[in-house]
Amino acid sequence: MRCAVLGDPVAHSLSPALHRAGYAAVGLDWEYDAVRVTTEEFVSFVLGLGPEWRGLSLTMPHKRSHFGIVGAEVTARAQLAAAINTLVLEEGSIVLADNTDLPGAVAAVRERYDGPVSAGTVLGGGATAASTGLALCELGARTVRLLARAPERARSTAMAIAAHPSDPRVEVLPLGEGEILGEIVVSTVPAEAQDADLVTRCGDAPVVFEVLYDPWPTPLAASVGGDRVLVGGLDLLVHQAVLQFELFTGVAAPLDAMRLAGERALEARRAGP
């Protein structure tokens, strides 16, 4: 059986390391690759897959670009996030479209922080901001503040979060001006957007959730110390991959083995050639 992560670019993805380690740990003779697929190539690639294909992980730009053309059952959480990162196939045809970022983010936070969440701030306004913003609602947040570099382009993300059944209040402000609100600040912005002012404004947040894992540490992640809690991008990647693994294989995922593979892959990448 074959699985893959599709994206453009995609060479940086750690998903192959995690999934392959999972297969080895449970004794599955499966393959998992990283395949560069552009937006223009996506439909023809997916429609051309053979019966040996079982699952696809989607990274940018595919989480939202093809949401409306997936001919399959779309889970409630994927509909809520208006983003898909997981496609399950049977005999080469897509049968399920899901979003494991949302529950993966909840699991990543709860693994490291068991305190209350009454409100939270998300830096950014894209698909990952929508999933993590909804995760804040799942954790109990009644107010979610989005700080976006282009607030006008964060409207769909704000609408997705506002549609959560808990009926949260959602605010959208410019990244460079808005104050940090709540117990958790989630960063979905690039490391180069994390200037000294932004890092300082995030300094009082008890929990920092940095969704990036490379480069690491980002300026925001490096600023976390003392009693503050840091949730990293590898935490999110592992927990969402565990859910994908189980959807693809029907087998309980070996979380520890997958996490260790991710840690080793990152260490090797940072060590260089």
Question: Domains, the chain, ranges and CATH?
Answer: 2-99+235-271 (3.40.50.10860), 102-233 (3.40.50.720)
- Cα angle for residues 260, 261, 262 (degrees, 5° grid): 90
pLDDT at position 40 is 94
**Token duo for residue 126:** 């894209």
pLDDT tens across 152-162, in order?
Answer: 999 999 999 99
What's the rounded mean pLDDT across residues 54-60?
95
Mean pLDDT confidence for 244-262 = 98
Per-residue pLDDT at 66: 74
Give 260-269 pLDDT, tens digit per residue.
999 999 999 9
> For the residues 205-225, what does the mean pLDDT come to?
96
Pick from 65-79, 136-150, 230-244: least confident: 65-79
**In the numeric block, which tokens belong to residue 75?**
């889970």
- Listed as own residue / partner, the contacts of 200-203 with beta carbons closer than 8 Å and 24 or more positions apart are none
For residue range 8-26, list pLDDT tens digits in order.
999 999 999 999 999 999 9
Radius of gyration (C-alpha) of the chain in whole angstroms? 18
- 185's torsion region: left (phi>0), alpha (psi -120 to 50) or beta? beta
pLDDT at position 82 = 86
CA distances from 77 to 3, 48, 84, 109 (A): 22, 27, 9, 18
C-alpha 52/C-alpha 9 separation (Å) is 24
pLDDT reported for residue 69:
66
Looking up tokens 């990448």 gives 269
d(CA 104, CA 96): 18
Q: What is the mean pLDDT of the chain?
A: 95
Structure tokens at 134: 């909804």
Q: Which of 64, 66, 136 is nearest to 103 (CA)?
A: 136
pTM: 0.94
CA 10 remoteness from chain centre: 14
Q: What confidence tier does 271 reach under pLDDT thresholds 50, 70, 90?
A: confident
Phi-psi category of residue 140: left, alpha or beta, with phi > 0 → left and psi -120 to 50 → alpha: left
Per 3-state DSSP, the chain is made up of helix, strand and coil in percentages (nearest 5) of 40, 20, 35
**pLDDT the model gives residue 70:** 61
What is the β-pairing status of strands 53-58 and 86-90?
Answer: antiparallel
